[in-house]
């Protein structure tokens, strides 16, 4: 990702360069010329003011408003104290390096924000709606459900809807992270926020802008920073108490030892004043206060680039600790779409068997019937078909080219007295028979229909186990035989079938009672109660229901099961970076604080303890934005 400095950052950089140049001049002049103390002080105050006037201004304003204990106040007290004790170069250098750290922080936050705010580009500016046969350009929130909108090549699709006319390719990268365009035709669903690439399409809207996918995503992104992780809340509270304690400790360090060791000696006062200034400089909590939320922000941004929306840092923290993943089957591990899996003809070839079945089923709107028609693909001449009768709960009877055919389940075959047999495969079995004479039928074979398993489901289950997820469980309302077949194909041994929504909640609660840290993944409206009950709810977003998306804590925009493994790895990396920053910052600061208190550490080491640690922590936090998925 290319990143340019903002106008404010450029201005800050120019100030730092100018101050650094003036500081070098001051050092050279004071080494070559023996100046009086006031002249030397003036020479070093100039770069100090150039680099840090905004810090001093903010500290004074906060002081006047009663906001005393913040990092700018600490920097002002420490550097002014250093000037007062004759440490002129150190005081000016501390302020300069503090501003370098502030610039690094601003750039890092900007990069992290950009990785998330790139999602904001999906917000459509307008919609072209057809009213009374006339095209009008209006705001997306003025379009009602059921209206027809026109989307031309290069335009964002402003609202969710169904293609009524035209064909095109749609770029979904902003939502899903998937670079390959998706072809859309008549009756296909399209999602707001995606970009129409090739053809003009007319779309019948299925939601208002406020309820559209793009609106919900923008709301999730905008609110993600409000939900802090436990470690973030700890750092905020820590800084609130830590800073005043440090100021009091520095004051005691500056005053108590001189009073004890020799109140009349300026050298003693100066020594302890310098130590107190060192103590103040190194004690600034900015490395913790900045790097921890920045790490979470970077992790959320890195996940967004992969098409994974994590609603807040608290969910990132939970996701990293997950040891059990529970899947709903339909629409999560499977596509939720019926398709012909196999054709088993008897005394007829596969093409002819499928042709007969498609002709019989072409008059039905049932999903199973439609899957047969889709598998047939070719145009069905309905003039060939007559006397179509739908037999409730059994199938269809139809006459094709003067021959009567029966297409349906086992009970239909028994009704027409066909000598059929069951299939060794699991799924929905459509048997086909034809009438050869009155009261006599011939069995032609059967077609196996199944809900298709997603291409990446098996590898996702394998990857989850590989990265240390202890239990992977499948829950489904399907029959035991179907569930067992899907579980075997996916390499799952832990599954439960024939469950109602309430049964799924019960199963999840049982796992939670066993001490599992559990994530539940689903896509349907009936999954919402389970998503809310789990430690973490993950929704398949692109095709998932509104209720599932709103109830979930994490949304996978590309509907790919592998996204769950990616999300876990991103969360773990983010938490690892957070812990590294906390430990490193506290350890280095504690060491230098002790060394400074006993007089071993000087102001230069204090600069490293503050600004150096801050910069290193920021650079480490930025790593959370760069995710490499190896599985």
Catalytic residues: 328
| C-alpha–C-alpha distance, residues 242 and 279, integer Å | 13
Handedness of CA 572, 574, 577, 579 (dihedral sign): negative
Q: CA-CA distances (angstroms) from residue 209 to 192, 219, 271, 570? A: 9, 12, 67, 31
* Cα–Cα distance measured from residue 614 to residue 599, given in angstroms and rounded to the nearest whole number: 23
Distance (Å, whole) CA 394 – CA 296: 56
φ, ψ of residue 343 to 5 degrees: the values are: -125, 125
Q: Are 99 and 55 a contacting pair, CB within 8 Å?
A: yes
Residues 6+ apart with CB under 8 A from 352: 345
Query: What DSSP designation does 211 have?
Result: G
Where helices occur in 343-398 by DSSP H, the ranges are 350-361, 367-376
Say if CB 334 and CB 486 are below 8 A apart: yes
- φ/ψ (deg, to 5) at 88: -65, -55
Backbone angle region of 257, left / alpha / beta, with phi > 0 → left and psi within -120 to 50 → alpha = alpha
Question: How close are the terminal C-alpha atoms of the chain, in Å?
Answer: 23
Query: What is each CA distance from 348 to 31, 206, 434, 442, in whole angstroms?
Result: 103, 44, 12, 11
């Amino acid at each position: 990702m290319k990143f340019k400095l903002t106008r404010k950052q450029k201005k800050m950089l120019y100030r730092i360069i100018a101050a650094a140049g003036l500081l070098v001049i001051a050092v050279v002049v004071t080494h070559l010329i023996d100046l009086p103390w006031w002249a030397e002080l003036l020479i070093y105050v100039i770069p100090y003011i150039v680099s840090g006037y905004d810090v001093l201004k903010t500290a004074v304003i906060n002081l006047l408003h009663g906001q005393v204990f913040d990092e700018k106040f600490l920097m002002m007290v420490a550097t002014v104290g250093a000037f007062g004790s004759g440490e002129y170069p150190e005081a000016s250098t501390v302020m300069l390096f503090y501003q370098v750290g502030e610039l690094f922080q601003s750039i890092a936050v900007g990069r992290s924000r950009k990785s998330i705010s790139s999602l904001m580009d999906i917000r459509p500016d307008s919609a072209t709606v057809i009213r009374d046969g006339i095209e009008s350009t209006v705001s997306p929130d003025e379009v009602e459900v059921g209206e027809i909108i026109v989307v031309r090549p290069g335009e964002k699709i402003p609202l969710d809807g169904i293609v009524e006319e035209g064909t095109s390719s749609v770029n979904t990268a902003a939502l899903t992270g998937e670079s390959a365009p998706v072809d859309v035709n008549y009756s296909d669903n399209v999602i707001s926020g995606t970009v129409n690439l090739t053809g003009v399409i007319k779309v019948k809207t299925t939601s208002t802008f406020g309820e559209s996918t793009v609106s919900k995503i923008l709301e999730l992104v905008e609110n993600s920073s409000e939900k802090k992780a436990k470690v973030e809340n700890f750092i905020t509270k820590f800084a609130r108490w830590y800073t005043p304690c440090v100021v009091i400790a520095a004051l005691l360090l500056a005053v108590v030892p001189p009073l004890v060791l020799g109140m009349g000696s300026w050298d003693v006062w100066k020594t302890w004043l310098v130590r107190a200034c060192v103590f103040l400089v190194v004690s600034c909590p900015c490395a913790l206060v900045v790097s921890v939320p920045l790490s979470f922000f970077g992790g959320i941004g890195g996940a967004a680039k992969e098409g994974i929306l994590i609603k807040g840092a608290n969910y990132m923290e939970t996701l990293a600790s997950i040891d059990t993943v529970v899947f709903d089957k339909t629409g999560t591990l499977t596509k939720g779409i019926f398709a012909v899996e196999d054709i088993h003809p008897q005394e007829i070839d596969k093409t002819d068997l499928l042709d007969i079945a498609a002709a019989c089923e072409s008059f039905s709107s049932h999903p199973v019937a439609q899957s047969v028609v889709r598998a047939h693909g070719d145009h069905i001449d309905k003039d060939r078909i007559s006397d179509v009768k739908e037999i409730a709960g059994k199938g269809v009877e139809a006459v094709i080219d003067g021959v009567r055919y029966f297409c349906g389940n086992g009970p239909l075959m028994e009704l027409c007295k066909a000598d059929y047999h069951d299939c060794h495969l699991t799924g929905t079995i459509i048997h086909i028979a034809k009438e050869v004479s009155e009261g006599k039928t011939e069995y032609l074979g059967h077609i196996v229909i199944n809900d298709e398993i997603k291409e990446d489901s098996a590898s996702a289950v394998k990857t989850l186990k590989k990265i240390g997820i202890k239990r992977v469980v499948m829950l489904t309302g399907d029959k035991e035989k179907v569930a067992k077949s899907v579980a075997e194909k996916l390499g799952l041994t832990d599954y439960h079938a024939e469950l109602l929504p309430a049964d799924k909640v019960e199963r999840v609660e049982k796992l939670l009672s066993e001490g599992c840290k559990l994530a539940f993944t689903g896509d349907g409206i009936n999954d919402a109660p389970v998503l809310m009950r789990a430690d973490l709810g993950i929704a398949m977003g692109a095709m998932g229901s509104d209720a599932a998306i709103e109830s979930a804590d994490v949304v996978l925009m590309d509907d790919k099961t592998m996204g769950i493994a990616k999300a876990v790895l991103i969360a773990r990396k983010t938490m690892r970076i957070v812990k590294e920053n906390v430990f490193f910052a506290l350890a280095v600061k504690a060491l230098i604080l002790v060394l400074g208190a006993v007089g071993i550490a000087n102001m230069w080491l204090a600069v490293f303890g503050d600004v150096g640690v801050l910069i290193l922590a920021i650079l480490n936090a930025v790593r959370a934005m760069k995710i490499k998925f190896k599985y």
